[in-house]
Structure 1
Amino acid sequence: MIVDCAVYEQGHRRDGKLPLEEAYQACRGDGAFVWIGLYEPTEEEFDSVRCEFELHELAVEDAIHAHQRPKLEVYGDTVFIVLKTARYVDSEEVIEFGDILLFLGEDFLITVRHGEATDLHRVRLDVDQRPDLLERGPGAVLHAIVDRVVDDYVPAIAGLEQDIDEVEAEVFSPDRSNPAERIYKLKREVAEFHSAAAPLVEPVEGLAEGRHGLIHPEVQTYFRDVNDHLRRADDRLASFRELLASVLQANLTQVTVQQNDDVRKISAIVAILAVPTAIAGIYGMNFEYMPELTSRWGYPLILSVMATICLILFRYFRRIGWL
């Protein structure tokens, strides 16, 4: 589905709607470029765009089917970029990922969105307010999109950080809970997030350093700022992975300590109960010549001995921390 098709001339958007058939010719003027936005297009819908702008078939296939690893590839005079968007769902403690695939040419930018991707309508509204940057070509729009995608990583990272803090507190709480499953889920989300952000570092760095001639030198300065934000996000995700590994190890240690404590308590109880059991076993053998059997105080005496020994053992185990 084609969401929007607009021509920018001398930093300003041309009024009115532009049919896709006229987009190719409209961007041929000096200082003009076209921005075409599509959402989950079918192969038939994308075919006309491919023909008009002579897009490479491999990049087109990736754009239609999506679910690609973040990357930057060059096909002739066209740069193909894959971005991963991220949105944190607090109720489920998961990261929802989307795809934005971009074709950048000298006088055009084509964006293809899949899934819960970042809304580019707000990006359009923002860049329309910066004619000074739009005069530098479609690279300025590319910067605005990448910048928005990276900025959207911040609340997602903050949501993960809060959950990690909660699970860390849960591990060291006095409650006898075992958050191992929650830790594993968070590790999986962090790993997927890291695999979405880390591969993007090198392509953005290349755009900031001007390795691709389609980016105006003035726009490269803005890409350096985006690259700095992206690196910080990547570093935080890497630290989350290490922290969760430590939390998981601490949780396993806590479980082992709790199990050892339970074993000590059971052993202490068994030892205390062994005394009356042994004495009762002796007097349960029904021997005829047992002097205590004929004694008037034999029964209360034996009970007193059993209770005294049990009390001594209880206090002993209590003092050494087994009970």
Structure 2
Amino acid sequence: MRGALGRRLAAATSGGDKTVPAAAPETGARRPALVDCGLYRDGVRLPGAPDIAALYERARREPDAFVWLGLYEPDEAMLTEIAAVFGLHPLAVEDVLQQERRPKLERYEDVSFLVLRAAQYVEHAELTETSEVVDTGTVRIFVSGDFVITIRHGSVGELTSVRTDLEAGPALLAQGPWAVVHAVVDRIVDAYVDIAAAVQTDLDAVEAAVFTRTPGIGVEHIYQLKRELLEFRSAVLPLQRPLGGIVDGHSHQLPKEVRRYFRDVADHHARVVEQITSYDELLASILQARLGQVTIDQNNDMRKIASWAAIAAMQTAIAGVYGMNFTFMPELEWRYGYPGVLTLMLISAVVLYRILRRAGWL
């Protein structure tokens, strides 16, 4: 197993962990599942052969050392090998294979399992009925005293920059595996903050368009933004409970300094939750206002239709009277009867139009 994993890691770590799709459109080649693996002690990455099992054995022997393994969409066979090396609980491995997406934090003896939803804002020139505003991915983390395993699914939430930043500042990395977890969670929550600010801009634009009656902004556009906000909400809000469990520290042993950093992350996350709640309420109000405008417009259209129908009905009534052709009708013998009736129809139409216009129906 050690040799197989070592060979797969050596072939995989040359590509890094970048935000790219699982298959390149030009070649169709799947990106490597094994991204990077390193042994760290006192915040410094130690040299060594890229053999996962060997690095993990060294981490267990040497004090204050741990292994950080990064994976991208591993298949079942690879995950089974990894689970055997690190002794991962089968239930947690099953969650990874089934692509569990709901943020949660569970503890299996000495190993904690954390599920996170990473998100990013999708730039768009204007909001349409099909605009994608928020894209999400999943990051799963196994953490213990000797190792931390990060598993990423989707094109969102790259972690190479997190590893690079931590290696450049070894003071925090020296705190152990939970320092890596903090860096990952902090990066994801910072992305939440940026997305919330960008969504605020979209909301302001939609609100201004609705209340200024800008053409092209319909109920469909608002519903699309609401759906995207719901996806963002489903990624952010469930993280409250896992963060609370980490900060409380009742079931997870964290260094005090790392727990202090987690409190700061929890504060940022709480502000984003408040923003999302207010956005949801504001969007509901905007939607109700737009629906009210649609109802008013429909009522106005119906009033106009009814007004023109009344004017037409007046002409029809006059024409109907003089179309009965009774024998004893004085107007039938009148020389100016035809132009007189036309004049009567015109005057009645003008009078009725002015009355309806003054009443606001036309």
TM-score (ref. length: structure 2)? 0.84
1:138-149 paired onto structure 2 within 5 Å: 138-149=177-188
Aligned residue in 1 for 2:166: 127
Query: Which of 152, 156, 161 is the matching residue for 2:195?
Result: 156
Long gaps (5+) in structure 1:
none
Long gaps (5+) in structure 2:
1-32, 125-130
Aligned residue in 2 for 1:111: 150
Aligned residue in 2 for 1:84: 117
Identity percentage of aligned residues: 48
Deviations 1:105-152 (A, max 9, x none): 012101111112311000011111221111111111110000001111
Alpha-carbon offset, residue 287 of structure 1? 1.8
Alpha-carbon offset, residue 294 of structure 1? 2.3
Contact 2:101–2:115, Cα closer than 8 Å, also in 1? yes
Query: Which of 327, 333, 342 is the matching residue for 1:303?
Result: 342
Deviations 1:234-279 (A, max 9, x none): 1111222222222222222111111111111111111112222111
Distance in 2 between the 1:13 and 1:174 partners? 59
Deviations 1:189-240 (A, max 9, x none): 2222212211111211222233344311011111111001111111111222
CA distance change for structure 1 residues 96 and 176 in 2, over 3 Å: closer, same or farther? closer
Contact 1:100–1:114, Cα closer than 8 Å, also in 2? yes
CA distance change for structure 1 residues 265 and 177 in 2, over 3 Å: closer, same or farther? farther
Instruction: Confirm whether residue 168 of structure 1 aligns to residue 207 of structure 2.
Output: yes
Aligned residue in 2 for 1:263: 302
Report the residue type matching 1:86 in the other structure: A
Query: Which of 40, 49, 60 is the matching residue for 2:73?
Result: 40
Query: Which of 287, 309, 313 is the matching residue for 1:274?
Result: 313
Distance in 1 between the 2:305 and 2:49 partners? 79
Contact 2:162–2:187, Cα closer than 8 Å, also in 1? yes
CA distance change for structure 1 residues 176 and 277 in 2, over 3 Å: closer, same or farther? farther
SS, match of residue 168 in structure 2: coil
Aligned residue in 1 for 2:292: 253
Query: Which of 207, 222, 225 is the matching residue for 1:186?
Result: 225
Distance in 2 between the 1:89 and 1:155 partners? 11
Query: Which of 131, 136, 139 is the matching residue for 1:97?
Result: 136
After TM superposition, what 4+ stretches of structure 1 lie above 4 angstroms from structure 2? 175-178
Deviations 1:166-197 (A, max 9, x none): 33334334357672222222222222221221
CA distance change for structure 1 residues 213 and 175 in 2, over 3 Å: closer, same or farther? closer
Contact 1:6–1:35, Cα closer than 8 Å, also in 2? yes
Report the residue type matching 1:33 in the other structure: F
Contact 1:72–1:203, Cα closer than 8 Å, also in 2? yes
Query: Which of 44, 63, 68 is the matching residue for 1:30?
Result: 63
More moved, 136-145 vs 202-211: 202-211
Distance in 1 between the 2:264 and 2:323 partners? 87
SS, match of residue 27 in structure 1: helix
Aligned residue in 1 for 2:254: 215
Report the residue type matching 1:89 in the other structure: V
Alpha-carbon offset, residue 165 of structure 1? 2.9
Report the residue type matching 1:292 in the other structure: E
CA distance change for structure 1 residues 93 and 165 in 2, over 3 Å: closer, same or farther? farther
More moved, 154-163 vs 308-317: 154-163
Report the residue type matching 2:172 in the other structure: L
TM-score (ref. length: structure 1)? 0.94
Deviations 1:58-91 (A, max 9, x none): 0111123323310000000111100001122244
Instruction: Confirm whether residue 74 of structure 1 aligns to residue 107 of structure 2.
Output: yes
Aligned residue in 2 for 1:5: 37
SS, match of residue 191 in structure 1: helix
Task: Kindly tell me the number of residue pairs found equivalent between the two proteins.
Answer: 323
